[in-house]
Amino acid sequence: MITTRIATLADLDVVAELFDAYRRFYLQPSDLGLAKSFLTARLRNKESVVILAINAAHEVVGFCQLYPTFCSVEAKPIYTLYDLFVAPAERRSGAGSILLRAAEKLAAANGMARMDLTTARSNKPAQATYEALGWVRDEVFFAYSKRVEAQPLVQSDALRQATSAPSAASGTFSSTEPRRPAEARVSTRTSSAHVKLQYFLRAPKFPVIVDFRSHLIGIESRDKCSKVLLGASHPDTAEQFDVIDSNAENFSFHPRMSAISVLAIKKRWTKSALVALYNSRRTPDTPAYEPRSLGNKRFDQVLLDVVRLLDER
């Protein structure tokens, strides 16, 4: 059973470890000291609210972080749900959905007009969870981000008062929107020949198939992966592409980051789904994979069959 509560400064050590894991998921280097100091400042200054997910063994297994801000159009306070993370071992416990419901309850109690969040376009399982809980995808507005060169912060009392407003529910609200996750703030690589593909948390089991939407690419070994993927994609694209490994698990390839990462919420492939994907992407001169030939083959055998068919092109 998962329960939730609001984090306090006394929870910093355990929350910092989860926050560090969350940042590593977005391909940032591990820095537990930075994680702890960042969270300390947010909680001490009442600049964010962190909700914890706790399992039956009284272990903190996940968190979400809400930043209070304002909607100028509605002239009302809102929450930006910026961080949501559940430890891998607890991702089938429903902790993510429970954290989202707790955030909604807190937002209502604190008089918020709504909550906003962003998620990767490729993260279909997360999108399904949000929509099942009543979140509505924005079909009207685009989100933009621009990096700036930070200057030393010198803030007068008058400026500090002008850029913050009191709230009885949660201290102060920042009047500026928080920046987007680190995945949108990566420098462009100049040459794939000088870049090595990174694997975040762990590598997929080879061979793998990469879905570039217009076509599929099969890669038999890890040794070939960097050359094939970095040569087949444009380094400036912010898109993410599905990687299907021999364990039937879904990963994401990030060309701009030169990296493959595991999904926050696991997606498992079936033999029939893989064959259907291949048949929908194959070129007219490539043989089809007959579903009836699946027989008693294991998933990894079917994936290898598809990789070899792709190599015949």
Contacts of 115 (CB under 8 A, 6+ apart): 66, 78, 79, 80, 81, 103, 104, 107
* pLDDT computed for residue 117 by the predictor: 95
Ranges of the chain whose pLDDT falls below 70 = 152-195, 233-238, 264-266, 313
HEC secondary structure over 179-227? CCCHHHCCCCCCCHHHCCCEEECCCCCCCEEEECCCCEEEECCHHHHHH
- Structure tokens, 183: 């995945």
Residue 7 near residue 63 (C-beta atoms within 8 A): yes
* pLDDT computed for residue 234 by the predictor: 63
Q: Which stretches of the chain are DSSP H helices?
A: 12-25, 32-44, 95-109, 124-132, 157-162, 222-232, 271-281, 299-311
* pLDDT computed for residue 168 by the predictor: 35
Look-up: residue for tokens 């937002």? 107
* pLDDT computed for residue 87 by the predictor: 93
Mean pLDDT estimate for the chain: 83
Q: What is the Cα–Cα distance from 81 to 303, expressed in whole angstroms? A: 38
- Structure tokens, 152: 């030393």
The CA–CA distances, whole Å, from 219 to 25, 247, 281, 311 equal 24, 14, 16, 9
Neighbouring C-beta atoms of residue 16, cutoff 10 Å: 20
Q: Which residue type does 199 have? A: Y
Residue 133 near residue 168 (C-beta atoms within 8 A): no
Q: pLDDT for 3-38, tens place per residue?
A: 999 999 999 999 999 999 999 988 899 999 999 999
The helix or strand, by DSSP H or E, that contains position 174, with its residue range, turns out to be: strand 171-174
Nearest CA-CA partner of 277 in 216, 232, 229: 216
Q: pLDDT for 112-165, tens place per residue?
A: 999 999 988 888 888 999 999 999 988 878 888 888 887 765 544 444 444 444
**Phi and psi, residue 61, nearest 5°:** -115, 0
Look-up: residue for tokens 């040459």? 191
* pLDDT computed for residue 146 by the predictor: 87
* pLDDT computed for residue 191 by the predictor: 40
* pLDDT computed for residue 266 by the predictor: 65
